[in-house]
Structure 1
Amino acid sequence: MALPVRMGDRPGHAERVRGVRGISCRAARNPGRPACREPVVEAARGLLVPRRRHGSERRGDALRRSGRLPSARFRMRSRRPFRAGLLDLWTVQNSGDTTMMSLAEQKAFFEEEGYLVVEGVLSEDELAACHEEIERLHRVSAELESAGDPASSQFQREPYAKGANRPDGLPVLRKIENTREISSFFRDLSVHPGLLRVVGGLLGPDLMLFRSTLMLKPAFHGSAHAPHQDSAYWPIEPPALVTVSIALNDATTENGCFKVIPRSHTWGLKDWGLIAQAQDAEPAHERDLQDAQQVEVPLKAGSALFFHSLMVHGSGPNRSPHPRNTALYAYFPPHVRYVPGKGGPREKTYPVACGLDGRESFTLETTGQQA
């Protein structure tokens, strides 16, 4: 059975998604997609406003000692419809504060703390379309699994509900890998202007997509993720990737929101950077992580957490009656080096998210040069 890539199997679904985004899937994938060079710089400059929830000591050590996350939250107030070839500007506002944060200040905060939170990246209609597509992918998973199709390996069942199905008979899933390849909807979401605008301000105008994944924490079953560093798994040097975690539901303490250690991206890659093998097991040197005081990052649905690939992060289990679904994308600039594993290929080709003169893909060799 061939792996379906259609946007939906119910009449009107594709039309609805196009209406939400304001463009067709085809327009988003063709060479005329946003070049993301000058507009990225202009879009972020002078428009982002810090939301100081903890008083004037925005990045103070006192906040870190108290276990409260230094605030770098930005709220979208309005936006014009997205059109292919044009990156519309955001207008964001901090309640009670009219201080403007420049692109340089935004980038400086990220480089210092290792993360950035942007609120209101997706609208309610866009969130509804995401949930509809996730339900379609559950049906695809059931079809592939029943047919014994190797493509079913892209869909990972929740280990705490292994072999179990939802009341509607569909599998209880924990993760869906390579969403860019199996869903044209989530392929389009990877080039959403709200994402590229922020990542472009952090990494530069030319961006490649390293990873596209759905992390699902089903109600009552969602498993925890031990603290780890993404770059421990990723063959890119220097480890300068930015991961975007888009909250598709409200992420709370009860349903397993992200936990991070601010500034841990400055530690370098640690030997305990890999996730512990056993579920809920503690990685080596757990006492070091406790001393560093992990802090939780609750998010409203539609908000996004941007974080460095070296930042130590994890999440708790979901024991609540509410799901916690997240769309993950990881981006990186072209001036990096591909580091193959033993016996691995000498080069790797990645899709281009924006820039690079509108080309569709970019090949890295072990030297970091284009093949």
Structure 2
Amino acid sequence: MNEPRSAHQLSDEQKACYQENGYLIGLPPVFTPEEMRRINAELPHLLALLKPGETTKDIREWHEASQYLYEICLNPRILDLVEGVLGPDFYCWASNFFIKEPRSTSTVGWHQDAYYWPMAPHNSVTVWVAFDDVDEGNGGMKIIPGSHRGGIVKHQRGTDTDSVLTLQLEDGSDFSSEAAVQFRMKAGECSLHDDRAIHGSQANPSDRRRAGLTIRYSGTNVKNDLAVNPNFKTYLCRGTDTFHHNPVGVPPTTRFGRPNFKAVSKEEAGLG
């Protein structure tokens, strides 16, 4: 007898849309309003662990030491969505915050995630979980449909001093920002995008915060180059890992914590 399909299991139509466009939005919420209130109420405990001179973008891979983030990364509703893209065998390996406070001039230049990652083959998806309502007014992400099918585009060091990325697509790259789709999400919703999809975001001139947590997942067939990123750890989410390409992390036992290593920057990773 067939089991009833979860609301977060992708339909064949949604899977086809993802393969064609490189992203999915308009998905069922992965957290209820009450769950998001609790998550946001606990967020200051995590932010309190930042050291002087650090910003929220330094919260990278803290799921390795923080149950608070680890539980979000392994939320079954999120994993149902990811399984629809990657198949039954996949792991989580990265998370980081992108928080634009009200009146923030911070931008994210057009880029492809895969350009920064020493990983192969391309079989990864990013989940962007909205902690706040997100739209064009407070710097919501934009993505260029179908851009993931054009391969990896050459990047250059960015000249935009407000961009959180030091590398962005080389001027004259064959893509049109006019085709970009604006993401609009309510708190508790999420989007999915391919590691080769071209995306970016503008500043936040509004009086509203724009906070999102990105979580990276890859099929177990994907191998990381430890010579470039020696701190890489995987956390199996679904299925089995018959490849054993990568180190396996130990789930955290502390509610709020940070790893005892500094995450490898893009420059340190040889990608800047």
Give the TM-score normalised by the residue count of structure 2.
Answer: 0.78
Matches within 5 A, 1:1-371: 44=5, 89-90=6-7, 103-117=11-25, 118-141=27-50, 144-145=51-52, 156-157=54-55, 173-221=56-104, 223-272=106-155, 276=158, 278-280=160-162, 283-285=169-171, 288-290=174-176, 293-341=179-227, 349-356=233-240, 363-364=245-246
Alpha-carbon distance in structure 2 between the residues aligned to 1:307 and 1:91: 16
Q: 1:249·1:300 contact (CA, 8 Å) conserved in 2?
A: yes
Cα distance in 1, alignment partners of residues 121 and 210 from structure 2: 32
Residue deviations 1:196-253, cap 9 Å, x none?
A: 0011111111111121112111111251100100000111111211000011101111
> Counterpart amino acid of 1:333?
G
Provide the aligned C-alpha RMSD in A: 2.9
More deviation in 235-244 or 279-288? 279-288
Counting aligned pairs with the same residue, the percent is 27
Structure 1, residues 175-194: CA drift from partner, whole Å, max 9, x if none? Answer: 52113024211101111111
Q: CA offsets per residue over residues 96-123 of structure 1, 9 Å max, x none?
A: xxxxxx7322211110110011132211
SS in 1 for 2:68: helix
Q: 1:206 to 1:176 in 2, by over 3 A?
A: same
Three-state SS of the structure 2 residue aligned to 1:185 is helix
Higher RCO, 1 vs 2 (CA within 8 Å, ≥6 residues apart): 2
| Runs (5+) with no aligned partner, structure 1 | 1-38, 45-88, 93-101, 146-151, 158-172, 366-371
CA contact (8 A) 1:43 1:90 kept: no
Rounded Cα–Cα distance in structure 1 between residues aligned with 2:177 and 2:204: 24
User: What are the superposed Cα offsets for residues 240-288 of structure 1, whole Å, 9 maximum, x if unpaired?
Assistant: 110000111011111100110000000100112x672643467422574
| Cα separation, partners in 2 of 1:194 and 1:285, compared to 1, 3 Å | same
Q: Compute the TM-score of the two structures, normalised by the length of structure 1.
A: 0.59
**C-alpha distance after superposition, 1:281-339 (max 9, x if no partner):** 67422574436622211111111110000000011111111100001101011112333
Give the partner amino acid of 2:49: V
- The 1:248/1:186 distance shift into structure 2, 3 A limit, reads same
Counterpart Cα distance in 2 of 1:268 and 1:238: 12
Identify, as 1 or 2, the structure richer in helix: 1
Three-state SS of the structure 1 residue aligned to 2:193 is strand
CA distance in 1 between counterparts of 2:119 and 2:86 reads 14
Give the structure with higher Rg (CA): 1
Q: Where does the alignment leave 5 or more consecutive residues of structure 2 unmatched?
A: 248-272
What is the total number of aligned residue pairs between the two structures? 241
Letter of the structure 2 residue corresponding to residue 209 of structure 1: C
Which region of structure 1 is more displaced relative to structure 2, 225-234 or 282-291? 282-291
Give 1:90's aligned amino acid. A
SS of equivalent to 2:137: coil
Superposition misfits of 4+ residues, deviation over 3 angstroms: 280-283, 286-292, 339-342
The answer to whether the 8 Å contact 2:153/2:173 transfers is: no
Mark the CA change 1:310 to 1:283 in structure 2 (over 3 Å): closer, same or farther.
closer
Equivalent pair of 2:8/2:80 in contact (CA under 8 Å): no
